[in-house]
């Protein structure tokens, strides 16, 4: 059970971070279809930074510091990359879906180009060791012997987890507080609902939208790094398995509110986890691999998250709370 929950977290954490990234942009009125591209870019830059730290002589014992520094740096790269979208969507008033699609095509192209230039193959990993060895929190991290157990609850929180799970919770709290409790956050949301009214009250809509897209870029970059570290063993190959798009689905699924998104991403994480581990999944610990014995094709489990999204969208479309000004370029001259 602990294993299942921890596996679920591996899938849910990057999804939640990136879906929250989507909220920041969409609540300010910009559709961020580029989440996938920013993730790919963030993951690549994360691996580059980890390699730089390793080549610069940092040791395995400093793993957590390397991780946090690389995470922040890939977030900053995410901001830089997302500014391409912000510029076309806000200043040039271009179609946001097309701008996002362009970034989704640009990111893998650039990343693959440079990976080939750096390592002459199509996957770039760490200079030495693996993600689990360098960044995973284990009993040894706290000075206990290998194989030490903290009990079921303690194991869930402290044994074989990545620090990013806690960073994710922190991000969730910060984004929720920012959007609903701070002046800037409320102003940002108003720009996604009625930018004309916001402008008439002296709010700089362009600035707010830049802020929203920038935040979104930071979080998507962090999410990309998290994906690379937790599910791809700190490698980058110009692909994040559609996580950016899935995060978009989670965001719509969660009706653009952080709490629902947290729930949605945990649900998605569960399905993703079942699809990946169904054949060795022992739910209640009696040695029977129930899902495997059902004889259902693994492809059904793999399809489930997408099918469920479609069904949920079909049923909730009437109560959908899309930010009203989403996708419409703000034009001061417009009434």
**What residue ranges bind another protein (CB under 8 A)?**
33, 84, 88, 92-95, 97-99, 101-106, 108-110, 112-113, 116-117, 239, 241-242, 245, 248-249, 252, 297, 299-300, 302-303, 306-307, 309-310, 313-314, 317, 326-329, 331, 333-334
Beta carbon of residue 9, minimum distance to another protein (angstroms, whole number):
21
**Cβ distance to another protein smaller for residue 148 or 245:** 245
**Cβ distance to another protein smaller for residue 181 or 335:** 335
Query: 2 Cβ partners below 8 Å, 6+ apart?
Result: 152, 155, 156, 159
Beta carbon of residue 133, minimum distance to another protein (angstroms, whole number):
25
Beta carbon of residue 92, minimum distance to another protein (angstroms, whole number):
4
As a whole number of angstroms, the distance between CA 40 and CA 104 comes to 9
Beta carbon of residue 282, minimum distance to another protein (angstroms, whole number):
25
Beta carbon of residue 154, minimum distance to another protein (angstroms, whole number):
35
Query: 175 Cβ partners below 8 Å, 6+ apart?
Result: 20, 23, 24, 219, 258
**Cβ distance to another protein smaller for residue 80 or 106:** 106
**Cβ distance to another protein smaller for residue 117 or 153:** 117
Beta carbon of residue 233, minimum distance to another protein (angstroms, whole number):
16
Q: Buried (b) or exposed (e) across 207-225, using 16+ Cβ within 10 A? A: ebbbbbbbbbbbbbbbbbb
**Cβ distance to another protein smaller for residue 139 or 195:** 195
**Cβ distance to another protein smaller for residue 165 or 230:** 230
Beta carbon of residue 184, minimum distance to another protein (angstroms, whole number):
25
**Cβ distance to another protein smaller for residue 97 or 184:** 97
């Amino acid at each position: 059970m602990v294993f299942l929950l921890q596996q679920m977290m591996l899938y849910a954490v990057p999804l939640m971070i990136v879906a929250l990234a989507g909220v920041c942009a969409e609540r300010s009125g910009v559709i961020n279809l580029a989440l996938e591209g920013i993730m790919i870019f963030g993951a690549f830059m994360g691996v580059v930074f980890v390699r730089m730290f390793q080549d610069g002589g940092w040791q395995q014992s400093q793993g957590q510091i390397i991780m946090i520094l690389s995470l922040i740096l890939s977030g900053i790269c995410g901001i830089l990359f997302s500014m391409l979208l912000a510029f076309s969507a806000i200043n040039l008033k271009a179609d946001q879906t097309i701008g996002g699609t362009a970034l989704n095509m640009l990111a893998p192209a650039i990343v693959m180009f440079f990976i080939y230039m750096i390592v002459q193959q199509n996957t770039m990993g760490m200079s030495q060791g693996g993600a689990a060895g360098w960044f995973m929190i284990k009993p040894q991290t706290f000075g206990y012997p290998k194989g030490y157990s903290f009990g079921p609850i303690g194991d869930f929180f402290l044994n074989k987890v990545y620090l990013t799970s806690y960073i994710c919770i922190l991000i969730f709290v910060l984004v929720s507080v920012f959007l609903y409790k701070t002046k800037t956050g409320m102003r940002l949301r108003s720009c996604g609902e009625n930018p004309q009214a916001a402008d008439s009250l002296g709010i700089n809509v362009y600035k707010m939208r830049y802020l929203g897209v920038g935040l979104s870029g930071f979080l998507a970059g962090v999410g990309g790094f998290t994906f690379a570290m937790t599910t791809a063993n700190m490698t980058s190959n110009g692909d994040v398995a559609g996580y950016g798009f899935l995060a978009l689905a989670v965001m719509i699924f969660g009706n653009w509110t952080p709490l629902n998104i947290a729930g949605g991403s945990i649900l998605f994480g569960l399905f993703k986890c079942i699809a990946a581990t169904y054949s060795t999944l022992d739910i209640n610990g009696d040695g029977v691999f129930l899902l495997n014995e059902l004889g259902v094709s693994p492809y059904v489990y793999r399809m489930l998250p997408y099918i469920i999204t479609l069904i949920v969208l079909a049923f909730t479309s009437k109560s959908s709370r899309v930010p009203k000004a989403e996708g419409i370029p703000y034009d001061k001259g417009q009434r």
